[in-house]
Amino acid sequence: MKSINWQQALQPLIKKYKGKQHPLDHHHNPYELLVMVVLSAQDSDRNINKIAPELFNAYPDMTALSKADVDSLYPFVSKVMNSRKKITWLVEIALQLKEDKNIPTTLDELIALPGIGRKSANVIMRELGIKAEGIIVDLHVVRVAPRLGLAAGTDPKKLEKQMMEVLDAKDWGEAGMAISFLGRETCRPTNPKCTECVMNEVCQYYNETVK
């Protein structure tokens, strides 16, 4: 395939999903978002959405969470993957921040918190409408970006770096989430719906394997 201007080629996809909320039901509440992002690692957004209401009813803000301990939190998140490790992270975060107003708003400060990596930090910043400092690379993006031909490999950090090099910074905040939504809805692991995909004209997988 000829060389592709990805900044231009990705615009229809970005436009399609621009501003669409992440599947975690965080109600645009920074505290809820932070807690749910930590809990969602290696688990499904659906599962976290299911357990969240009772958790937030008991611990409605960072101040309440800072008074919790592992044993008091466990019943609320016992059905979450790696629950004890995540509870420990949440207790540490709450003791460190103490109040909702202290939730960080920069990439470096967010990834300094226990249990938060670049992907989680990028999700939090995007959902809070903060200017992006990176690109969300979740498991959907790890699958879809190489399929498209936008980036190569399976290492999230390397994929993010490649995408940051070919996309304008103004689109970083929406690009990763748009690719993630594409992976959830259209570019499925098996039987991707290539013919109805907005990216099929430039997609390496479609043009080299499917057509």
What is the tens place of the pLDDT at every residue in 47-58?
999 999 999 999
Q: Calculate what percentage of the chain has a pLDDT beyond 70.
A: 99
CA atoms within 13 A on the CB side of 180: 22
pLDDT at 208 over 90: yes
Per-residue burial over 134-165, b if 16 or more Cβ lie within 10 Å, else e, is: bbbbbebbbbbbbbbbbbeeeebeebbebbbe
Query: What's the Cα-to-Cα distance from 167 to each of 35, 85, 124, 170, 210, rounded to whole Å?
Result: 30, 35, 20, 8, 26
Same domain assignment for residues 148 and 100 = no
> Is 166 among the domain residues?
yes
pLDDT at residue number 3: 87
> Is 24 among the domain residues?
no
C-alpha–C-alpha distance, residues 13 and 89, integer Å? 35
Mean pLDDT of all residues belonging to the chain: 97
Same domain assignment for residues 47 and 88 = yes
Number of structural domains found in the chain: 2
Range of the domain at 191: 6-19+134-210
> Is 1 among the domain residues?
no
CATH code of the domain containing 59: 1.10.340.30
The DSSP annotation for 40-107 comes to HTTS-HHHHHHHHHHHHHHS-SHHHHTT--HHHHHHHHTTSTTHHHHHHHHHHHHHHH-SGGG---SH
Same domain assignment for residues 153 and 65 = no
Q: Which pLDDT tens digit goes with each residue over 28-51?
A: 999 999 999 999 999 999 999 999
pLDDT at 2 over 80: no
Same domain assignment for residues 62 and 150 = no
Instruction: Give the residue-averaged pLDDT of 141-161.
Output: 98
Same domain assignment for residues 73 and 34 = yes
Same domain assignment for residues 152 and 76 = no
CATH code of the domain containing 171: 1.10.1670.10
Q: Which pLDDT tens digit goes with each residue over 154-191?
A: 999 999 999 999 999 999 999 999 999 999 999 999 99
118: part of which helix (H) or strand (E)? helix 118-127
Same domain assignment for residues 83 and 157 = no
Q: What share of the chain is helix, strand, coil (3-state, %, to 5)?
A: 60, 0, 40
pLDDT at 6 over 70: yes
pLDDT at 124 over 70: yes
pLDDT at 119 over 90: yes
Phi, psi of 2 (to 5 degrees): -70, 160
